[in-house]
Structure 1
Amino acid sequence: MDKKKVVVPLVCHGHSRPVVDLFYSPVTPDGYFLISASKDSSPMLRNGETGDWIGTFEGHKGAVWSCCLDSNALRAASGSADFTAKLWDALTGDELHSFEHKHIVRACAFSEDTKLLLTGGMEKVLRIFDLNHPEAPPREVDNSPGSIRTVAWLHSDQTILSSCTDIGGVRLWDVRSAKIVRTLDTKSPVTSAEVSQDGRYITTADGCTVKFWDANHFGLVKSYTMPCTVESASLEPKLGNKFVAGGEDMWVRLFDFHTGEEIACNKGHHGPVHCVRFSPLGDSYASGSEDGTIRIWQTQPTTGSDESEALPANGPSAKIKVVAEDVVHKIEGFHIASNVVDEDKGDKPSM
């Protein structure tokens, strides 16, 4: 009997709480990298292709809701429930700066030229920090209609995208005037908003719907109803012919962009899927879940006989498979988190 084609994921352990955000770097001379945010307060950096753990960024005192890498994967940023956004050296793991806020930071994003860091959160304020002068007060855009859930840059850093936790729609802000120039209407709050690698599309997830918008003219290009409430969606970056979505039913689904037809339905997570992202080469995609794991799935299925089979990737508690010299080179300056802070509440923890 023919073996059934299934996608066998790499399973990345290490987080002790739900994984709530994932971000892939572009391809660099050293490959590409994956950073994850978790309610355990410790963002982790991994090899984007193999899932092998590189290091853990230590310093937050609350749940980390958002994370990102700059275009060269030399610096990382994270936003947390401890009322800070932090800038990190992605080579050593050192904290470069901590940007104080007055409430939970839910989202952060490096500008395309990597000179600016954008943050947003429960304060209903967008802040733009100059990374060449991190001590300087940020530029503030303070008329968001609701608490900010997602942020992104587009149009060569001339436009900012944001969505809110409590009301529908995506707002597009002109950076120079700090005013909303367009709103993309959705029925439900947008929980995921991604600008495609080529800058053509904005991919959003709201309720049971995944939508694709023209990033230049802002018209609705595609809208597909999903089998469940989805929390995140991501468009394949090379050909743009597939997208992946994940949500409350614990499945990670791959779809045809042109028709909305389901191509694959991947089983493996043991809790709702909070975030999905395609790798920059489009040959794999990652998912983060309430179960505390990250799973990396190949876009093209392999042949296997057991759908529950999974391959482990290196984690802080896993056996390291690379040679000792490689480990020293990769994790120099990084530290494994010794104390995990159980903090995902809205109250700022005492210092």
Structure 2
Amino acid sequence: MDLPHHKMRDLRVLKNRVEALEKENAALRKSLFELSSRFNLLSSRILAPPSDAMTFEPIEGDVLPSTSASSFDDADDMIYDSDPTHAKSKETAQFYPKMEIKGHQGAVYAVGFSPRGDLLASGSFDKTLRIWDVSHTQQKELHCFYGHTLNVSTLWWSPKGGEVLTGSYDQTSKIWDVETGKAKGSWNTDGFVQCVRFPEDDDQMFGSGTSRNLLAIFDRRHPEAVINLQNDAMINSFCFINEHRILSGDSVGQLKTWDLRAMKCIDSFVYENNRRAISHVAWGPLRSSDPEKPRNGITSQLIAINSYDSVLRVFDWEMDPIPSYRHIASLRGHKNKNWPIKSCFWSGRRQRPLGLGSNQLSHEEIYAATNRDLLAEPSSSLPFADTGNALDQMIQDWELMQRVEGHTDRIYDVGFHPLEPIMCSASADFTVRLWVLRKKK
């Protein structure tokens, strides 16, 4: 029986209203992570001590102020800008699209290759961790892990590559078994989990940095953290220097070195009184004369610091016996004001062509990436969304190598294959993309 005309009209109105609400809900859910990050950033500015070196300017279309980049620049800084014509014309290699990976139902915030490079992990606003087999030309999803109740904000592979550690805004860290497709454990912490990490050679221990100023160290054989390091600001990024020390970056611009045996901070560094929040710290290639030297004996290493101001600062870091930081360059060309993005290094001089793509890349394509160090930086600029600016470091001379385009929304994370010149990128457009370095077509 046909419904009366007025009831049909009411049904259409209700249907349109439901569709509108669903779109609005999707937009609100998509922006949760970004709004949380903005709130954290604003909180850090309110709590940060005043600085005569800081000036503020409005961001077009935004409500938060931004520190003027000029207030951080040295006269001798090596700086590039976003004009793609500044890339050297002699450049003979570029990144080209290799694969577009689809499957997530939300923005992808974290991505990373396994230690062997044959698998890829991605974490998303859709609350899932997905494992992809990328050893072939077509995408293949091996596992989709459910368990987090809010967005997966960070991930890290175990040293042997059999497990993935994730952190979420549901205030938990979880470990997942890639072979069995099952969860191995879950650990609660205080605050949104901003970053997680295993040490280089220990899969029984891991760390978690949170929005509640906590750097927690877990032994997975115990249900609670075995060490709680209390900071005075949110922990946004950290890494294990060795089995006893950790370097962290926080929301008031501090790089801190922590001693796990003494369970306290032993050094704190702020560059030129820049109290802008550090969103990410990326470790670069060793600068020791002996590339086989273990990390405990590193005399010098590059680190790249993101600070929400569209400037990527590169330092030469030393630990002998206390940390020292020498500013090398301030790099521009991307846009990341107020957005939490992650950069990544790749060192072609210390890798060998094995694993993913070794049977797909020619010797000329492999050769195109040797004798160079690359640094990829995502960008949040729209409509010029891209996977970042790949930088070539040759004898400490930084050049804009390429502006890689393809994503349709801002990019949150990039990573390099451990052995080959292949880059992955994670975006708010729900996709992960792979890019391979080849000679110009």
TM range (shorter): 0.7 to 0.9
Matched, 1:260 2:398: yes
Q: 1:25 to 1:56 in 2, by over 3 A?
A: same
Cα distance in 2 for residues equivalent to 1:86 and 1:6: 34
Could you tell me which residue of structure 2 aligns to residue 116 of structure 1? 205
Cα distance in 1 for residues equivalent to 2:253 and 2:209: 16
Cα distance in 2 for residues equivalent to 1:90 and 1:215: 35
Q: Map Cα deviations across residues 33-52 of structure 1 (whole Å, 9 max, x no partner).
A: 22112111001112355554
Q: 1:134 to 1:284 in 2, by over 3 A?
A: same
Match of 2:424 among 268, 286, 295: 286
Cα distance in 2 for residues equivalent to 1:197 and 1:88: 29
1:234 aligned partner, one-letter code: C
Between 140-149 and 286-295, the greater mean CA deviation after superposition: 140-149
Match of 2:284 among 196, 202, 207: 196
Could you tell me which residue of structure 1 aligns to residue 173 of structure 2? 85
Cα distance in 2 for residues equivalent to 1:40 and 1:202: 31
Identity rate, percent:
20
SS of 1:8's partner is strand
2:304 aligned partner, one-letter code: T
CA shift, 1:169, in A, is 2.8
Match of 2:187 among 88, 96, 99: 99
Cα distance in 1 for residues equivalent to 2:429 and 2:267: 37
Match of 2:342 among 205, 213, 232: 232
CA shift, 1:276, in A, is 1.0
1:178 aligned partner, one-letter code: M
Q: Map Cα deviations across residues 149-201 of structure 1 (whole Å, 9 max, x no partner).
A: 1121122x22112222x321322211111222233424332222122365533
Match of 1:208 among 286, 310, 315: 310
**8 Å CA contact retained: 1:43, 1:64:** yes
Instruction: Compare relative contact order (CA 8 Å, sep 6+) and give the higher one, 1 or 2.
Output: 1
Instruction: Name whichever structure is richer in strand by fraction.
Output: 1
Could you tell me which residue of structure 2 aligns to residue 248 of structure 1? 380
**8 Å CA contact retained: 1:21, 1:36:** yes
Give TM-score scaled by structure 1 length. 0.77
Between 15-24 and 231-240, the greater mean CA deviation after superposition: 231-240
Number of residue equivalences: 293
Match of 1:24 among 98, 110, 113: 113
Could you tell me which residue of structure 2 aligns to residue 313 of structure 1? none
Q: 1:34 to 1:203 in 2, by over 3 A?
A: farther
SS of 2:148's partner is coil
2:265 aligned partner, one-letter code: I
Match of 2:214 among 100, 106, 125: 125
**8 Å CA contact retained: 1:97, 1:134:** no
Q: 1:170 to 1:48 in 2, by over 3 A?
A: farther
Q: 1:197 to 1:94 in 2, by over 3 A?
A: farther
Could you tell me which residue of structure 2 aligns to residue 8 of structure 1? 97
Matched, 1:67 2:155: yes
CA shift, 1:272, in A, is 1.2
Could you tell me which residue of structure 1 aligns to residue 412 of structure 2? 274
CA shift, 1:243, in A, is 1.1
Match of 1:182 among 261, 267, 272: 267
SS of 2:407's partner is coil
Q: Map Cα deviations across residues 38-79 of structure 1 (whole Å, 9 max, x no partner).
A: 111001112355554221111111111111110111111111
Match of 1:161 among 236, 247, 268: 247
CA shift, 1:301, in A, is 4.7
Q: 1:213 to 1:35 in 2, by over 3 A?
A: farther
Aligned Cα root-mean-square deviation (Å): 2.2
**8 Å CA contact retained: 2:95, 2:437:** no
Gaps of 5+ in 2: 1-92, 287-294, 296-300, 350-371
1:278 aligned partner, one-letter code: F
Could you tell me which residue of structure 2 aligns to residue 33 of structure 1? 119
Query: Greater CA radius of gyration, 1 or 2?
Result: 2
Could you tell me which residue of structure 1 aligns to residue 234 of structure 2? 147
SS of 1:219's partner is strand
Cα distance in 1 for residues equivalent to 2:129 and 2:149: 12
Q: Map Cα deviations across residues 255-301 of structure 1 (whole Å, 9 max, x no partner).
A: 11232211111111111111111110141111111111111111235
Could you tell me which residue of structure 2 aligns to residue 339 of structure 1? none
CA shift, 1:302, in A, is 5.5
Cα distance in 2 for residues equivalent to 1:108 and 1:41: 16
Q: 1:178 to 1:71 in 2, by over 3 A?
A: same
Q: 1:255 to 1:220 in 2, by over 3 A?
A: same
SS of 2:161's partner is coil
2:418 aligned partner, one-letter code: P
1:242 aligned partner, one-letter code: L
Cα distance in 2 for residues equivalent to 1:266 and 1:236: 16
CA shift, 1:209, in A, is 2.2
Gaps of 5+ in 1: 304-351
Instruction: Name whichever structure is richer in helix by fraction.
Output: 2
Q: 1:91 to 1:226 in 2, by over 3 A?
A: same
1:214 aligned partner, one-letter code: W
Between 226-235 and 37-46, the greater mean CA deviation after superposition: 226-235
Give TM-score scaled by structure 2 length. 0.62
Could you tell me which residue of structure 1 aligns to residue 329 of structure 2? 223
CA shift, 1:142, in A, is 3.6
Between 256-265 and 68-77, the greater mean CA deviation after superposition: 256-265
1:291 aligned partner, one-letter code: D
CA shift, 1:139, in A, is 2.2
